Amino acid sequence: MSVRRELRSGLTWRSYLSIIYSVAVFQPAIIYLFLLTGNPMGGMIPWIALMLISELAAMSGSPLTRQEAGTIFICSSISAYGVFLGAIYSLYLRYSPITKAFGLAEEIPPWVSPQDPWPWVHRTFFHSSWLLPLTVHTVAFVTGMIADIAVGLLLRQMYIEIEKLPFPMQVPVAQAIITLAEREPTRTRLFSLTTTLSTIYGLVAYGVPYIVRELKYHFEVIPIPWADFNYLLHKFIPGASFGVATSLAILGAGMMIPFNVLVSGFVGSISTFVVGNWLLVAYKITAFAEEWKPGMSIQMTWQRSLLHAWISIFVGSGIAAGLMPLLRHPRIFKDTISSLITARSEARLFSIWSIVIPFAASAAVYVAMAHLLVPEFPLWILILLNVVWIPLMTMVSTRAVGIMGFPINIPYVHQLVYIASGYEKYDVWFLPVFTGGVAGQGWCINFKIADLCDIDPRSIIKAWALTFPISLLLGFVMVSHFWSLAPIPSATYPGVQVYWPILVTQQMSWIKHPPGIFRPTWIAGSFALTSAAYLVCDFLRLPFSVMGFVTGMSTPIPVAFTAFVGGLLGKLLERYFGARWGRYKPVVVAGLIAGQGIAAAGAAFVVLIIK
């Protein structure tokens, strides 16, 4: 019987001040870079913050503990500016020429954004007409985050404590954190080497082109995010897609994922986006066959085939892949609940009530608010969609992360439900989505990193609770400041000027109900086939991973291919270096991930200076 490692708190005065420093220094830059590029860049902050702070601590003669380092890494990217940028987007929605062209500008309810033009003209939150919209946005945001933590704790107990899934992509992250904290010579040298090489690659791939583009020149040596070979493939296989992802992080992911799972995922991606798309075009199945044109890019092919053909299949397959292991082996769920109820208080970290009560309370508050805002929309659908479906699919997606390293993303579910409900009014389409459980996957991932770094997860929650209000206040101040300098969107902030009109177009198109997307028979059929495949593989103990296959079905083919190449490369290195490769592999992969993040961050800050 294994002895449980001692978990220690990572929340100390050093780690907390480091987190506050990271939030105060980096969040304004993240907001501005988002406005410039349209892409959130918060993922690069933890590496920069931890490297800087761990180096300062080592120079002072008092290195960080692994618990402190892990807490800084997990909590340094806390940001809450999204609620305020979301409010500005809702206001832009009301005045966008695209919304007016669809004839929906007058249909936007007053609880979405102010009807009074004063805030739009003067670019300010300080107006009485903002009271209701900001209350709605904030309630949805806060209740969602509380529910996320509760779901994350449940998933931690289920997948980390009971089922003990490997979480292949969290292992190298934890190894890098420990290496930066404890400075073990061999691991430190190896991490430094791979980080340096990855940074050089990242500068060539991302950094220099990004900076040069801001100077109005074009320079690209390595295509980002992938090399697209559709224009060649379409001469022989119409509708199919193929490319090579150019991210070293994806290559490294392939080294960490169990090889049978990796192969299953690659087969799933080929089945969908090579064979499946070819069949759609060859036999003129769905509207995708009408939209497809020779030379259509991987990104556009992925989006349009997903929308018109594969989404219903993903829904059915995703549910089956997540639920069948629990139905076939119910002891997993039973032991999870039992461990939360019957374990001695000193042996358990969380009780069942510390999970149920926060989730139930936050879900009840959101559903009550939503019912008040859209009283004619069926209440039972609101409950089913937000209280049942979201946690369920988060459970499915997190299990995919725990096994393969990649989530299962099933988009457009809310839109499909609204269409299927037959509800004819427009108000429900503007209802803030309850995220309760969606980010529970992220919390579970962080809890896995904490577990690998021997951190008491309660200290992670405490650090978040102490930092979040500061981040919320800072987010409000900085978003207000940037908005006061120039309209959002505008030429001053080209990222949102490009992407927000696209988002509005997509949102308005859904409200107008695109035909032929929701297919209940396809959902049922894919559920049945996936369930049968799982049962066969489970009974016969075949090495094929149904969860890996389903995850691969929704993964763009370049990502699946590069990860597969990474897996083959890992096998070759294992054959050459033997057990040493298994010992140092997580550090190598962590260096690949960190180096790209450093290169992207450095380029982003140079652009910030140029601007």
Whether the predicted pLDDT of 561 surpasses 90: yes
Residues 155, 160, 165, CA angle at the centre, nearest 5°? 105
Task: Indicate the range of 23-37, 67-81, 199-213, 558-572 predicted with least confidence.
Answer: 23-37
Q: State residue 537's pLDDT score.
A: 92
* Residue corresponding to tokens 């919390």: 443
Look at residue 278 and tell me whether its pLDDT is greater than 80.
yes
- Cis check for the bond before 168: say yes or no (omega within 30 of 0): no
pLDDT in tens, 372-426: 999 999 999 988 888 888 888 888 788 888 887 777 776 677 887 888 888 888 8
**What single DSSP character describes residue 10?**
-
Mean pLDDT score, 476-504: 81
In 457-480, which positions are buried (b, 16+ CB within 10 angstroms) versus exposed (e)? bbbbbbbbeebbebbbebbbebbe
Residue 534 has pLDDT above 50, yes or no: yes
Most confident of the following: 78-87, 134-143, 335-344? 134-143
* Residue 2 clears pLDDT 50, i.e. is over it: no
**Calpha distance 476→81 (Å, rounded):** 6
Residue 433 Ramachandran class (φ > 0 left, ψ -120 to 50 alpha, else beta)? beta
Beta-carbon neighbour count of residue 6 at 10 Å? Answer: 7
pLDDT, residue 382, reads 87
pLDDT at residue 40 in the model = 64
What number is the average pLDDT over the span 200-212?
82
Mean pLDDT of 80-96: 84
Q: How far is CA 438 from CA 85, 141, 152, 159, 337, in A?
A: 20, 12, 9, 16, 21
As a three-state string, the secondary structure of 294-335 is CCCCHHHHHHHHHHHHHHHHHHHHHHHHHHHHHHHCCHHHHH
Confidence of residue 131 (pLDDT cuts 50, 70, 90): very high
User: Quick check: 608 and 32 in contact, CB under 8 A?
Assistant: yes
Q: Which of 35-39, 106-110, 199-203, 465-469 has the lowest mean pLDDT?
A: 35-39
Whether the per-residue pLDDT at 542 is higher than 50: the answer is yes
- Residue 518, pLDDT above cutoff 70: no
Question: Within a 13 Å sphere around the CA of 455, how many CA atoms are in the beta-carbon half?
Answer: 32
pTM: 0.78
- Produce one character per residue of 66-80: b if its CB has 16 or more CB atoms within 10 Å, e if not: bbbbbbbbbbbbbbb
How does pLDDT run across 299-347, given as a tens digit for each residue? 889 878 887 888 788 888 888 887 788 788 777 667 666 656 654 544 4
Q: What is the pLDDT of residue 168?
A: 85
- Both tokens of 531, joined, read 């369930």
Up-side HSE of residue 515: CA atoms within 13 Å toward CB? 1
d(CA 242, CA 231): 9
The predicted model gives 481-497 an average pLDDT of 81
Q: Domains of the chain: which residue ranges?
A: 80-169+223-577
pLDDT at 352: 78
* Residue 436 confidence (pLDDT): 57
Is there a contact between 207 and 603 (Cβ–Cβ < 8 Å)? yes
The mean pLDDT of the chain is 84
Instruction: State the average pLDDT over residues 519-540.
Output: 91
Crossing angle of the two packed helices 557-577 and 259-270, in degrees rounded to 10: 150
Mean pLDDT within 271-279:
96
Cα(120)–Cα(273) distance, rounded to whole angstroms?
43
pLDDT, position 269: 94
